[in-house]
Amino acid sequence: MEAIRELYKAGPGPSSSHTLAPQRACLLFLEKLKDQPISRVAVSLYGSLSLTGKGHYTDKVIIDTFAPIEAEVSFKLTWPYDFPNGLTISAYDEQDQLMLEWVVYSIGGGSITILNEGFDFQKQVYEEKNLLEIIDVCQKNQWTFYQYAFDREPDLPEYLSLILNEMMSAVRRGLDTTGLLPGRLKMERVAKSMYLKASAMDEIAAKNRLRLLAYAYANNEENASGGRVVTAPTLGASGVLAALMYHCYTDLGYSRQQLIQALATAGVIGNIVKTNATISGAVGGCQAEIGVACAMAAAAMAQLEGANLKIIEYAAEIGMEHHLGLTCDPVGGYVIIPCIERNGAAVLRAVDAAFMAKTIGAIKGNRVNFDTVVRTMNYTGEKIALELKETSLGGLATECTWELPE
């Protein structure tokens, strides 16, 4: 498995595969040609990047990254390569001669593969490939998941402390902001109103649930506005874990150190899915984004509540299993409907999954292990139709037939 620090990345919303990944590719491309006079750049988007790139602001992030160099972005219908989400970047000199051309795959969570360029982004830091192997190592060493991760990545606590800061500040910014979200849906931000309503409630359980929801909305309203959020495992699904962290710190009194440990545990879970299936909505549908985010948050919650390895695994398994088959069909190509509400629903479900694992797990063992549900998610993702994998060609994207203003 790759390093957990490759899983958590802070960057501009609304989509890790459509903004963060192209931005990363463009910056590396510029770095490769540094000191050479580029006259213009042409970028072609293919697959999901082409079909939802407008609503996901892919063209804007590319143009902004190359500025002041002129960058022309085109949305192509056919893609000659064997991957559903990619782009080509071409640079030309003053005589309009091609200087360099890259083919880039956006593989999910802001990660990229650049064909024939020899970058080793997918450097393997962990020998173990699935949760069964990891549990075995943990049991032999009497470790919990975060101790295992800290052993393999000694600088991880420091990095996760920065990631925690980024999550907290995204939620805080979201709670402080009102007004319309960008784009043709003309949706109002509601996180602040939700938070104020929660604050006026007397009943503590309801208050906490509405606050938790408000935090998920706050993070994802920031994301939908192009604000800086953290991939967990993606930007579209970033509100689930960020909301949980904010809630556990602000309302439940967990320490920063406990939250950093919980982020490491969640990172192990996300990394297993990234290694054995996918965390890209364009490849596996929303189950690969929100489903994985829910599994990560459920594991984090169980960890915080002091659960053992098997109960943490059970919580993650419940979080993933009950999102199997979830499709990705963003209305208008914006990461707004169903995405913002879905982050809220998933964080509530994550808390419930930890509760279920703790209570049911004490009565009966879990018959379906996490590795099995990850394989099932991969299989299910292959069966989901292309129209329902971040292309906005079907599902809610075509059933919501109200007129979108220009």
Positions that interact with ligand SF4 (CB under 6 A): 236-237, 281, 286, 289-290, 328, 330, 335, 338-339, 342, 390
Q: Which is nearer to ligand SF4, 184 or 207 (CB)?
A: 184
Strands 10-12 and 40-47: unpaired
Q: Which is nearer to ligand SF4, 162 or 404 (CB)?
A: 404
Cα–chain center distance at 251: 24
252-to-194, 367, 396 alpha-carbon distances in Å: 18, 32, 36
CB of 14 to ligand SF4, least distance (A): 8
Within 10 A of 141 (CB to CB), how many other CB atoms are there? 11
Place of tokens 């192997």: 133
* Region of 75 on the Ramachandran plot (φ > 0 left; ψ -120 to 50 alpha; else beta): beta
Q: Which is nearer to ligand SF4, 63 or 282 (CB)?
A: 282
Q: Which is nearer to ligand SF4, 28 or 328 (CB)?
A: 328
Q: Which is nearer to ligand SF4, 313 or 329 (CB)?
A: 329
CB of 202 to ligand SF4, least distance (A): 33
Give the span between the Cα atoms of 222 and 181, in whole angstroms: 9
Residues whose CB is less than 8 angstroms from the CB of residue 157 and which lie 6 or more positions away in sequence, other chains included:
150, 260, 264
Give the span between the Cα atoms of 61 and 142, in whole angstroms: 46
Give the span between the Cα atoms of 77 and 47, in whole angstroms: 7
| 38 closest CA partner among 103, 97, 98, 91 | 91
CB of 397 to ligand SF4, least distance (A): 9
Relative orientation angle of helices 309-321 and 131-141, to the nearest 10 degrees: 160
Q: Which is nearer to ligand SF4, 284 or 361 (CB)?
A: 284
Which residues sit opposite 230 in a β-bridge? Answer: 10
Give the span between the Cα atoms of 357 and 334, in whole angstroms: 34
CB of 329 to ligand SF4, least distance (A): 6
CB of 38 to ligand SF4, least distance (A): 32
Q: Which is nearer to ligand SF4, 18 or 24 (CB)?
A: 18
CB of 303 to ligand SF4, least distance (A): 24
CB of 339 to ligand SF4, least distance (A): 3
Give the span between the Cα atoms of 325 and 342, in whole angstroms: 14
Helix (H, G, I), strand (E, B) or coil at 237: coil
CB of 281 to ligand SF4, least distance (A): 3
CB of 273 to ligand SF4, least distance (A): 14
Q: Which is nearer to ligand SF4, 73 or 292 (CB)?
A: 292
Give the span between the Cα atoms of 406 and 403, in whole angstroms: 9
Relative orientation angle of helices 204-224 and 191-199, to the nearest 10 degrees: 170
165-to-139, 230, 294, 324 alpha-carbon distances in Å: 32, 10, 20, 31
Secondary element (H or E) of residue 214: helix 204-224
Q: Which is nearer to ligand SF4, 245 or 339 (CB)?
A: 339
Q: Which is nearer to ligand SF4, 59 or 390 (CB)?
A: 390
CB of 25 to ligand SF4, least distance (A): 20
